[in-house]
Amino acid sequence: MTGRALASVAAAVIAVVVTCAALLAAATGEPHGGGCVPADGHASTRAPIWTPTASVSPPGGYPRIGRWDPTQVGNAATIIAVGAQRGVPARGWVIAVATAMQESSLRNLPGGDRDSVGLFQQRPSQGWGTPAQLLDPVYAASKFYAKLVTISGWQTMPLTEAAQAVQNSGTPDDYADDEPDARTIVERLTGLTGLPGCATAVGPQGWVAPVRARIVSGFRPPDRPNHQGVDLGAARGTEIHAAAAGTVTVVECNVRPASHGCDRDGSRKIKGCGWYVGIAHGAGITTWYCHMLHRPTVAVGQTVAAGHVIGVVGSSGNSSGDHLHYEVLINGVPTDPAAWMRAREAPLGLTG
């Protein structure tokens, strides 16, 4: 891959980051629209590692990110840049990087199982291209994305299902454990956080609505006095954001009977929160997010920024339709989330 081609795809990622800020500005009427949410939870946009210069690599080369060395991170950068250039949403970048992590450990391998080669271990005999083509990271990533975007519903699938639909691997569940690292690398390289998509704008007090949707059931209404949160009527698959920076304390499938599970829709007869996440924000403040579509994308002990995507809206547990049940607790005592968020300049609903 030539330096000119690398510079071209790198510039595409820069354009994505700038576009996120511009879209937020257009939506809010503010000069920066609160910015894309940076990983430290502040409202300014984190500078991406890439800069639009003659080379895709930053001065001094790519850093090590976690267990991934600079060469591996550089290969991830190419995968992300190709996705951005092709107009693939950021969720696709995470899927692609996680797939390459599983298939090749982000190394451009000259061989593999049977006739597999390259970052994605694609097979010439299966029509992916010639060995020489598949050893070109740009070509290999382009072929991956071309197949991914033809899969119906890929953006709301669990990552391992989307990756498997492209790769047809003999070990279809093995992609899931690479998602956290893939998300970290994408966020570090692009300056975005809470992927997929352009991150949401965090308010001046460090809080943000977990979804933008109408309140369909309030806090302890007369007909539901034990309703300890609010229901937000977001569509199935809508990304759920951490309302503030904190530490994940609970990731759980909470249903009764347990035999029903959380990977299918619940009903009024099923009890419990379904797939849910609890986040501790300090000073005795905790938020809960219930009825997710599938296993949340965060883990217990993980530190998250305000706006970080923690899962997607579904209807698991005690639920009669797709929505997010959102609770705020102070020292374990539920408080009205609508009032709490309004006081923190991050109102719930569609009018804030």
Enumerate the domain spans of the chain: 3-190, 215-343
* The pLDDT value given to residue 50: 46
Q: Which residues contact 333 (CB under 8 A, 6 or more apart)?
A: none
Q: Find the radius of gyration of the CA atoms of the chain.
A: 21
State the pLDDT confidence band at 57, using cuts at 50, 70 and 90. Answer: low
Decide yes or no: CATH 3.90.1150.10 for domain 215-343.
Answer: no
Distance, CA of 209 to CA of 286 (rounded, Å): 14
Digit-coded pLDDT (tens) for 215-265: 999 999 999 999 999 999 988 888 899 999 999 999 999 999 999 999 999
State the pLDDT confidence band at 181, using cuts at 50, 70 and 90. Answer: confident
| Lookup: tokens for 54 | 């003659």
Range scoring the smallest mean pLDDT among 116-130, 141-155, 188-202: 188-202
Mean pLDDT of 20-42: 31
Mean pLDDT of 149-160: 85
Digit-coded pLDDT (tens) for 120-151: 999 999 899 999 999 999 999 999 999 999 99
* The pLDDT value given to residue 200: 59
- Closest CA relative to residue 313, chosen from 328, 292, 327, 298: 292
* The pLDDT value given to residue 204: 85
- Flag whether pLDDT at 52 surpasses 50: no
The three-state DSSP-derived secondary structure of the chain is CCHHHHHHHHHHHHHHHHHHHHHHHHHHCCCCCCCCCCCCCCCCCCCCCCCCCCCCCCCCCCCCECCECHHHHHHHHHHHHHHHHCCCCHHHHHHHHHHHHHHHCCCCCCCCCCCCECCCCECHHHCCCCHHHHCCHHHHHHHHHHHHCCCCCHHHCCHHHHHHHHHCCCCCCCCHHHHHHHHHHHHHHHCCCCCCCCCCCCCCCCCCCCCCCCEEECCCCCCCCCCCCEEECCCCCCEEECCCCEEEEEEEEEEECHHHCCCCCCCCCCEEEEEEEEEEEECCEEEEEEEECCCCCCCCCCEECCCCEEEEEECCCCCCCCEEEEEEEECCEEECHHHHHHHCCCCCCCCC
